Amino acid sequence: MAATRTLEAAARRAYWNVVRACLVQLHGWSGRRADGAIAEFRRRLRASSNPLTAVIVYHAEEFDLACDLADHPLDYFEHRAAYEAILAQHYDRPDLWGPAAQTEEHSQELPTGTAQHGHQRVGNATMSGHR
């Protein structure tokens, strides 16, 4: 049970690190600006009256969420190579996942990156209180 919680925490950290990297590398934001936007979005997630909202956000591609947070949609196919490099940097790290992630039992729990890329509004459209 503790290994699963550790894996889930690592997956959440990696998810938000990818969102941050997308904001910085693809949208040209400073790290400070990206951190602030992510912190505010996560605060709104925690404050949401719908407990499933915080879970649903993890089903969105990090690329899409970064575009929503930046309020600037990017063409996925134009940025695919850079995005996949970001994913590889944050998800293809044995030190992040540890030995438990290498087992078949846990492989289903790991984020899969860009298996099927869907363009759905998650950020501002779902959580906006000021738009």
Instruction: Specify if 114 maps to a domain.
Output: no
Give the residue numbers spanning the domain of 97.
Answer: 2-106+119-126
Say which DSSP state 131 is in: -
Number of structural domains, the chain? 1
Instruction: Specify if 131 maps to a domain.
Output: no
pLDDT at 89: 92
User: How much is the average pLDDT of 14-35?
Assistant: 97
Q: pLDDT tens digit string along 76-105? A: 999 999 999 999 999 875 554 444 444 433
Q: pLDDT tens digit string along 4-15? A: 777 788 889 999
User: How much is the average pLDDT of 45-62?
Assistant: 89
Instruction: Specify if 113 maps to a domain.
Output: no
With beta carbons less than 8 A apart as the criterion, state whether 123 and 65 touch.
yes
Instruction: Specify if 70 maps to a domain.
Output: yes
pLDDT at 1: 67
DSSP output for 64-126 = HHHHHHHT----HHHHHHHHHHHHHHHHS-HHHH-GGGGSHHHHTTS---SSS------HHHH
With beta carbons less than 8 A apart as the criterion, state whether 6 and 108 touch.
no
Instruction: Specify if 96 maps to a domain.
Output: yes
Residue type, 19: V
Q: Can you tell me the distance from the alpha carbon of 15 to that of 20, in angstroms, rounded to the nearest whole number?
A: 9
Instruction: Specify if 57 maps to a domain.
Output: yes
